[in-house]
Amino acid sequence: MVDTKTVISEAQDDMEMAVMHLDEALAHIRAGKADVRLLDGIKVDSYGAMVPINNVASVNTLDARSIGIKPWDK
């Protein structure tokens, strides 16, 4: 038989982790201003290895609404 308190406790822990993840994701979003941190989770293939985009390109804000990406390798 399943213990109700255990199920509720596990569900509560899972929900708290989901809220923490959402808080972290929302912290990277700024309305009205481009932020290069939006690309932190982006990985690209570089010579067969997946690496963060800022390891293979210059990433900066061009203006309040644009992000520029200039790869170092051609």
Residue spans per domain, the chain: 1-30, 32-74
- Read off the pLDDT of each residue in 17-25 and give the average, rounded to a whole number: 92
Predicted confidence at residue 40, as pLDDT, reads 86
Q: Does the structure show a pLDDT above 90 at 29?
A: no
Please write the tens of the pLDDT for every residue from 37-60. Answer: 888 889 999 999 999 999 999 999
CATH number assigned to the domain covering 32-74: 3.30.1360.40
> Which amino acid is it at 39?
L
Contact in structure between 41 and 53 (CB atoms under 8 Å): no
Q: What is the mean pLDDT of residues 10-26?
A: 93
Residue 39's contacts (CB-CB under 8 Å, 6 or more residues apart) are 53, 54, 59, 67, 69
What's the farthest any 2 CA atoms get from each other in the chain?
62
- Does position 4 have pLDDT exceeding 80, yes or no? yes
Q: What's the confidence (pLDDT) of residue 74?
A: 67
